[in-house]
Amino acid sequence: MSSKKTLYVSVSNKSLDAEASMNEQLEVRGTAEELEELRRMLERLKKDDEATQFRAPIPYKSADHDKATDQFNGDLLKLYQAIYKLGTDETKAHIHDRNILNKLQNTDYEYPGYER
């Protein structure tokens, strides 16, 4: 059985570090394979972020229901699910208390103004 290692995830910086910093970071414990998968997820999210940033300055075209935005949102949900799975009790409490997984699963598209 592989030993588990503790690392710190920063979703906003899309980084996985050996030491905690002053910024928001979530503590996770996992095997080398689990942590490598988490690192790949962060890289995928970086690429998704780059794809969606090109849509932001286009004033006449909404990013709602956009493939790039949908991909980013889906990958962000998967990332938080993985962080929750590997997270310490404090990390799990942070994700739970802020209702992050539920918010990522339920978009606000049902509100007025989002009709197709």
Residue 14 backbone zone (phi > 0: left; psi -120 to 50: alpha; other: beta): left
Residue whose C-alpha is closest to residue 108's, from 80, 81, 69, 78: 69
**Would you say residue 44 lies in a domain?**
yes
**Would you say residue 98 lies in a domain?**
yes
Our count of domains for the chain comes to 1
User: What is the per-residue pLDDT across 62-114, written as a single tens digit (0 to 9) for each?
Assistant: 555 678 778 888 899 999 999 999 999 999 999 999 999 988 887 655 555 55
| Better-predicted residue by pLDDT, 53 or 13 | 13
**Would you say residue 66 lies in a domain?**
yes
Q: Which domain holds residue 60?
A: 5-105
* C-alpha dist (Å) from residue 72 to 5, 54, 76: 28, 13, 6
**Would you say residue 17 lies in a domain?**
yes
**Would you say residue 89 lies in a domain?**
yes
Q: What are phi and psi of 80, to 5 degrees?
A: -65, -35
**Would you say residue 110 lies in a domain?**
no
Q: What are phi and psi of 8, to 5 degrees?
A: -125, 125
- What's the confidence (pLDDT) of residue 56? 60
What's the token pair of residue 85?
Answer: 């799975």
Rounded distance between C-alpha atoms, residue 35 and residue 12, angstroms: 18
**Would you say residue 80 lies in a domain?**
yes
**Would you say residue 72 lies in a domain?**
yes
User: What is the per-residue pLDDT across 37-58, written as a single tens digit (0 to 9) for each?
Assistant: 999 999 999 998 887 776 665 6
